[in-house]
Amino acid sequence: MRIVTLSLLLLLTLTLAACQSKAAKVKKLVDQYNAEYPPYAKACVDEDMTSGASRMLTGEKLTPEQIAALEAKKKERDARCKPEADRLAQLQKEILAAQQ
């Protein structure tokens, strides 16, 4: 009886330790994501991303030159921001996997 009780206690202790380390890993990943996302959003998401769409919604007609300039700016931003966007997507996947 004593061995069974000690075995169950050991199993419970190991389970709790695993849960705590899992929670710590999730917290670490979430903290890392929360630290990296705001600079990315400021540089890549907020950056005149909707200026063309806003103008079109107000009824303002864009010239072909303005459209070409917006498309070129979008391509440049996408190329510049893709590595960080991929990194943040990977962090999100790691967070989801750690929560399982």
**Residue 31: pLDDT band with limits 50, 70, 90:** very high
User: Between 78 and 13, whose confidence is greater?
Assistant: 78
> Which residues have a Cβ under 8 Å from the Cβ of 55 and sit 6 or more positions away?
62
What pLDDT, on a 0 to 100 scale, did the predictor assign at position 63? 85
26 CB burial (10 A radius; 0-12, 13-18, 19+): middle
Give the residue carrying structure tokens 């330790």: 17
User: Between 13 and 75, whose confidence is greater?
Assistant: 75
Q: Kindly tell me if the per-residue pLDDT of 49 is higher than 70.
A: no
Instruction: Specify the pTM.
Output: 0.65
> Which residues have a Cβ under 8 Å from the Cβ of 20 and sit 6 or more positions away?
none
